[in-house]
Amino acid sequence: MKGGKLIHILIATALCMLNAAEGRKGFIDLSYSFNNQTVLFPGRTSTFNVELEGYTADGFWVASKGFCTSEHTSTHIDAPYHFNKNGRTLDQIPLEDLIEIPGVMIDVYDKVHAYDKEGKANIVQNYALSREDILQWEKTNGRIPDRAVVLVRSGWGARWPNKYAYQGIDAPTEESTTTATPAPAEDSSKPLSLEVHLNFPGFSASAASFLVTERNVLGVGIDTLSIDVGSTKVYPAHQVFAARNVYMIENVGNLHLLPARGFKLWMLPFKIDRGTGAPIRVIAKLNSEDKH
């Protein structure tokens, strides 16, 4: 056996063992830890501070930390109201739409990370999942179940938590060059500006339309900062999903550990009154026949 082939076998074996450890008892955590390295969408901020941490005069330990952040931070859910004035707010999403939901994972890693004949990588930064991609997945894996959550793996999660790599941009000389500048909230007479200059994969409008009209999905998710491609100016996928009260989950982690299908999802966000979104804990449980 040639050395190169042996190395590939050893790597595959190691990855399989790692996956088995990560998916122990059939559970896989698809959420990122919330910390000071969390990659934020431009224009959003997070702060963390220690409120109490130490021993009291009576000799017992006490610790408490505080944070202030956007609803749309780390692994998080977008409520339909985020892009639909008449859509469901976070607290209006029924629990039965968030617990033990059938999931599927569409892997477009190879389409995002294309290689030429010489083995040189050609990253398609703003790759948009197409209707054809979904139909191709179904030819191999079967029809997407009714009222499922469709997760898309682009491979962008490997860049987390490198801020600029994950945003798909070069490190700027001034932070302001990548900052969104929405109009003040109190001045509703002026249109908001959501223009940013980012690069990462997302859903196309045609894929979004297909999923809501032909497959009746409850939700969708992806391993990037946004459901829409990074270069978008009008967020068509957000608009399509929100119009049909489909929730969206962004910055989903560990999608490389999931099979194409054969798992259920538990998705529990902060319960924010009239919320447009919230950080969320996403857990996948593999069906018994699909465990490693």
Find all residues with CB under 8 Å of 120, minimum gap 6, and list them: none
Query: DSSP string covering 224-269, please?
Result: SS-SS-TT-SS-HHHHHHHHTT-EEEES---GGGS-SEEEEEEEEE
Q: Decide if 14 is inside a domain.
A: no
pLDDT of residue 8: 42
Q: Decide if 10 is inside a domain.
A: no
Q: pLDDT for 131-177, tens place per residue? A: 999 999 999 999 999 999 999 999 999 999 999 999 999 986 655 44
A 10 A CB-CB count for 236 gives 21
pLDDT of residue 189: 58
Position 183 confidence tier, pLDDT thresholds 50, 70, 90? very low
Position 187 confidence tier, pLDDT thresholds 50, 70, 90? low
User: What rounded mean pLDDT belongs to the chain?
Assistant: 87
Q: pLDDT for 27-74, tens place per residue? A: 999 999 988 889 999 888 888 889 999 999 999 999 999 999 999 999
- Residues 3-14 have a mean pLDDT of 41
Q: Decide if 89 is inside a domain.
A: yes
Q: Decide if 272 is inside a domain.
A: yes
**At residue 208, does pLDDT exceed 90?**
yes
pLDDT of residue 197: 86
- Domain range for 261 is 24-37+70-290
pLDDT of residue 238: 98
Q: Decide if 49 is inside a domain.
A: no
Q: 195 versus 222: which is more confidently predicted? A: 222
Q: Decide if 53 is inside a domain.
A: no
pLDDT of residue 6: 40
pLDDT of residue 160: 97
- Residues 207-224 have a mean pLDDT of 98
| AA identity, residue 194 | L
Q: What share of the chain is helix, strand, coil (3-state, %, to 5)?
A: 30, 25, 45
pLDDT of residue 194: 66
pLDDT of residue 74: 95
Q: 81 versus 119: which is more confidently predicted? A: 81
Q: 254 versus 170: which is more confidently predicted? A: 254
Q: Decide if 65 is inside a domain.
A: no
Contact criterion met (CB below 8 Å) for 215 and 153 = no
Q: Name the least confident of 115-119, 160-164, 177-181, 268-272.
A: 177-181
pLDDT of residue 288: 65
CATH of the domain at 200: 3.50.30.50
Q: Decide if 58 is inside a domain.
A: no
Q: pLDDT for 82-92, tens place per residue? A: 999 999 999 99
SS3 letters for 36-50? CCCCCCCCCCEEEEE
- Residues 218-237 have a mean pLDDT of 97
Report the domain count for the chain.
1
